[in-house]
Chain A
Amino acid sequence: MIRLALVSLSGYCSGCEVALADVISEVLPRIEIVYSTLIADIDKLPSNIDLSLVSGAVRTKHDIEVLREARNKSKLLVALGSCASFGGIPGLANVYVVAELLREIYGTYPREVPKLTRAAAPVSEYVQVDYRLPGCPPPYKLLIELLVCVDEKKPLPKPPSRTVCDECSLKKRDVYEENVYRLGERDDVDFSRCFLEQGILCMGIATASGCEAQCPSRGVPCRGCRGPPAKIVDQGERLLSSIASVFSKIDEEELVRKIPDPLGYFYRFTLPSSTIPYTPEILKRMEKDEGSD
């Protein structure tokens, strides 16, 4: 029996908890939920937690406190989902300074919003993480595997070193279209052929395997939610460099017109754990604040 705590940080959408609900019938005999603010009405972290599943990115002061408390009270702490593992979608807010971000969202300066950290961060930025299970949401087979491993006290599964392309069943011919299209832009897309070869951006080439290429096999290009495979740190940069060389015959202005948002495409899930994890404006603003104090 695992004493399980579901720690949901502020930058979360509850999709990871839904993923857990998906597998609950298979793992219910193994788990006892001792903390969750979402699916059980327990709002105080008990001691002696076997496994904390943390979802969401760290964005507020409260998040940091809850996270540190969870770390102290649990034997294993696992980052569940792309936000907790790499910063995820909320991490894209790192291109704004806080004031600008709040103005962008609310129009005015709201008083009730909790104090935000200067940049969104993955869990590993603040505490030691024993295992990362990325995915948006995490693949249910891997989630079951993880819970079974913890319950039976077996070593945790190895992080994947291969890419989505290795698992993908779409046919590859090694012939590339010399143009970039959006998915809806072409009527003659062959859904049994590699998307990238047809000029449709697919992020499988630098995304960790484990999801069994569910999206490409169902006619949707990979978005890169599983993050980088082992040994690669900056998934977005890998995607940028390799996709640029795939479409290198296109004129540079045309290429930038066709891929207008490289940050959104390539760093969709991993900006806060990449090489340049936030805009330097944040640092400039911070220096200004420190100077005025």
Chain B
Amino acid sequence: MKPKILVLTCTYCSYAGADIAGVSKIQYPPSAYIVRLICSGREEALFALEALREGFDGVLFTGCHIPYDCHFISGNFKARARVALLKKLLSQLGIEDSRVRLEWISASEGDKFAKVVFEFTRELEEMGSLPKFRKISELGVEEHD
């Protein structure tokens, strides 16, 4: 199974980090689908929930290093708090919370970006994929006895 990872990146650090990984020709698995957002403060729980529902196996939140690297001062704190609550929510829903991961990657850390994608891909491979979600009305009635 080839996992699909949604990677949410911020413009000023982690996207540049991913860029460095590319420019320096560091190899990493093709499982990462990178989305650039303006700041990690824009990385919302909804993106992760929708991705998991629509067939992604994991979501990687990335941002500038805590505490004071964020270009917009506090975006990384917001991402951190969201991921913490999101992980808890997922475990309550019966979804492995390690499908969501948060990493701080600065603009120079191309090697770290590649390493994180490697590790995360391997973890998700072991975990297997989520079942495909259906509408509740298609689930039917449980025959219990």
- Tell whether A and B belong to one assembly: yes
Number of interface residues of B (CB under 8 A): 40
Q: Known contacts being A275-B46, A278-B136, is A283 close to B131, with CB within 8 Å?
A: yes
Closest B residue, CB atoms, query A118:
B139
A284 and B95 alpha carbons, distance in the complex (Å): 12
Segment from B15-23, B48-56, B107-115 that makes contact with A: B48-56
Q: Known contacts being A244-B82, A259-B85, is A121 close to B136, with CB within 8 Å?
A: yes
Number of interface residues of A (CB under 8 A): 55
Render B103-145 as a binary contact track against A, CB cut-off 8 A, 1 for contact.
0000000000000000000000000001111111101111111
Assess whether B77 is interfacial by the CB under 8 Å rule: yes
Contacts of A234 in B (CB 8 A): 46, 49
Question: Which of A155-169 touch B at CB < 8 Å?
Answer: none
Q: Known contacts being A95-B93, A117-B142, A118-B141, is A276 close to B133, with CB within 8 Å?
A: yes
Assess whether B38 is interfacial by the CB under 8 Å rule: no
How far in angstroms is the closest Cβ of chain A from B17? 22
* A contact patch SS: helix
Cβ–Cβ contact B137 & A125, under 8 A? yes
A249 and B81 alpha carbons, distance in the complex (Å): 8
Cβ–Cβ contact A289 & B143, under 8 A? yes
Q: Known contacts being A245-B41, A245-B81, is A286 close to B88, with CB within 8 Å?
A: no
* Residues of B near any A CB (own CB < 8 A): 41, 44-46, 49-50, 52-53, 74, 77-78, 80-89, 92-95, 130-137, 139-145
Can you list the 3 inter-chain pairs with the closest CB atoms, starting with the nearest?
A279-B94, A252-B84, A283-B131
